[in-house]
Amino acid sequence: MKLSLAARSCKAWRLIAAALGLASCHAFANAEAHRIVFRDDQMVFNGKVLELGQTLNAWDKVLPGKRRCEGAKVDICVWDSLGMVVVMGNAEHTRIRSAKIFLRLPDDLETYGPMMPRQAFKGQMELDALLLTSESVFSEIRRHARPDRNIRCGLRECVSPAGALGERTVFSFDLTRHKEHSTIDGVEIGNGDL
């Protein structure tokens, strides 16, 4: 029986995770699972580059499924099938300023209102060859990420840990609890220049 690339990657990750004490890999039986890789100032989706500052139309050409948007000038858009929310940034509301991918939806969906994705991201997500899942522990991500990422918590609590993705882009993690050894609920990338 020939294993898919996703299954072989998952098998390799399980061996590495067991040796390093990291979170286990989710089984990606579907070779068509979407893949997001964060590198420098880019988010690569299924091998195609998405950059903050691009238009919704540019992202529509790469991301599958339909998006829904809210706001008089289209402030926020959601790709429900991908667990992704994007926020527009420039004065004309034509450029994407930030993108958040939910790995786990919060219990209290009413807090977020109607612009919450209807499901969490179900594919693979990577940062510096680390598999990011809802089982990933923030302290392990910080320990194994590139040092120039400068991933850090707050002074007293780990409320919104963040780091540098590239020269213009930062990223942050939503954690299940405000502790360094918590698992991650989501990842957000943003560009303050927009």
For 7, residues 6+ apart whose C-beta sits below 8 A from its C-beta are: 27, 28, 29, 31
pLDDT at residue 9, rounded to an integer = 54
pLDDT at residue 32, rounded to an integer = 59
Tokens of 100: 């958040």
Q: Which residue has the tokens 């009413």?
A: 110
pLDDT tens, the chain, 194 aa long: 333 444 455 556 556 655 555 544 444 444 458 999 998 878 999 999 999 999 999 999 999 999 999 877 778 999 999 999 999 886 677 889 999 999 999 877 676 678 899 999 999 999 998 999 999 999 999 999 999 999 999 777 888 899 999 888 999 999 998 899 999 999 999 986 75
pLDDT at residue 11, rounded to an integer = 56
Instruction: Look at the pTM and tell me if it is higher than 0.95.
Output: no
CA gyration radius, the chain: 17
Burial of 19 (0-12, 13-18, 19+ CB in 10 A): exposed
pLDDT at residue 30, rounded to an integer = 45
pLDDT at residue 43, rounded to an integer = 93
Q: How far apart are CA 63 and CA 98, in angstroms?
A: 15
